[in-house]
Amino acid sequence: MLRFNEPEFLQQMASTVALRPQIEELVDRLVDEGFDNLFLVGAGGTYAQMWPYEHLARRSSTLSVRAAMAAELVASGDASLGERSVVIFTSVSGTTDDSIRAIEHCRAKGAYTIGFTGYPDSPVAQKVDVALISEPKAWPFDAQMLLFMGRLLSRRGEFDGYGKLADELAALPQILVEVARQAEPVAAAFAEAHKETDYHFLVGGGNLWGFTYLYSMCILEEMQWLRTTRVHSAEFFHGSLELIEEDTSLIIFQGEDETRALTDRVEAFARRICKDVTVFDTRDYPLEGISPEFRGLVAPLVLDTVLGRVSKHLERVRDHSLDLRRYYRVMDY
């Protein structure tokens, strides 16, 4: 597989699921002590990666759970943020300025702060009340968040299958390697077909909406300097569909949760108009060892792995490094 370091990938992913005992101990303590609300705070990709877990809580729990943009939380505040709040932050580098300021803001309000990162000496790890450390550069944070939210909902009597799910996640690293291997020819073909494409229209829904936003903004725009439109499948028919033309590159992310029908509706319509529709569907991947009832929950991890292969091939065919930036962390702002 192109630029895929399998041992490193396995080690990084294993380090995320290995946090299970620490996460469970932390969640149990928080539940026993009691708290009123949970904030999931990030910036850019780490903000978008919180949405599946806000979505999970919204449809499963009566607990108040809110995903928040770090910079906006500091600028606007939140009347419910206080001493009875728990706030989770994630950061690959542990150095994201917006998140660091948000940690300081939340702690000043008396909230209890948690950080997931790969660097114990980083500002994020040092400023939160408790840091849970994976291997450096481990991405994404979905395994940690799924363990945290699953345990929390289980303790609240709102998720009966947590133990089974957590046990199955132990096999996730090797499962995702197989996903990457299966996706490789699909990714290569997409990149070859779209090496000259300068505009993509992305659609996703449910717990894949966050990934849709992330891939559009953080990968295609930030890392490849491509123009994109991103829209939730439930909102597709309320404006953005007018941008679809016969030759538009339409990318659809399809998962396995209760919103699947909304995305099916988009695909059915789009194929009547557009000749360039690409569907990345988690159903195409066997996920041996993951029970059918949990496939929808791990869909963000599956799509992250599949599109990770697409990103590497776009980098190759476009001769545009994924590490190249003009402004982000290059200029002051």
Can you give the pLDDT at residue 235? 97
Q: Note whether residue 324 is domain-resident.
A: no
- Residue 119 half-sphere exposure toward CB, CA atoms < 13 A: 12
| Residue that is written with structure tokens 């505009």 in the block | 199
Residues 137, 208 within the same domain: no
Alpha-carbon distance of 259 to 233, in angstroms, equals 9
Q: What is the mean pLDDT of residues 23-42?
A: 98
In a domain, 332, yes or no: no
pLDDT of residue 143: 98
Per-residue pLDDT reduced to its tens digit, 250-288: 999 999 999 999 999 999 999 999 999 999 999 999 999
Query: How many domains are there within the chain?
Result: 2
Residue 167 resides in a domain: no
Res 330: pLDDT: 85
> pTM, whole model, 2 decimals?
0.96
Burial state string for 126-154 with b = 16 or more CB within 10 A and e = fewer than 16? ebbeebbbbebebbbbbbbbbbbbbbbbb
Instruction: Give the Cβ contact number of residue 74 at 10 Å.
Output: 17
Classify residue 330: in a domain, yes or no. Answer: no
CB distance 318 to 193 below 8 Å: no
Which of 160, 182, 216 is a domain's end point? 160
Confirm whether 325 is domain-assigned. no
**Residues comprising the chain, all counted:** 333
**Are residues 78 and 200 part of one domain?**
no
Q: Is the same domain home to 154 and 69? A: yes
Partnered with residue 68 across adjacent β-strands are 41
* In a domain? residue 333: no
Q: What is the CATH number of the domain that holds 116?
A: 3.40.50.10490
| pLDDT at 328 (0 to 100) | 84
Does residue 146 sit in the same domain as residue 266? no
User: For 233-251, how does the pLDDT look when each residue is reduced to its tens digit (9 = 90+)?
Assistant: 999 999 999 999 999 999 9
CB-CB contact of 118 with 92 (8 Å): yes
Mean pLDDT of 28-46: 98
Q: Domain containing 211: what range?
A: 172-318
What is the average pLDDT across 135-142? 97
Q: At residue 333, does pLDDT exceed 80?
A: no
Last residue of a domain, one of 160, 180, 196: 160
**Residue 235 within any structural domain of the chain:** yes
Q: Say yes or no: 10 and 55 in one domain.
A: yes
Q: What is the mean pLDDT of the chain?
A: 97
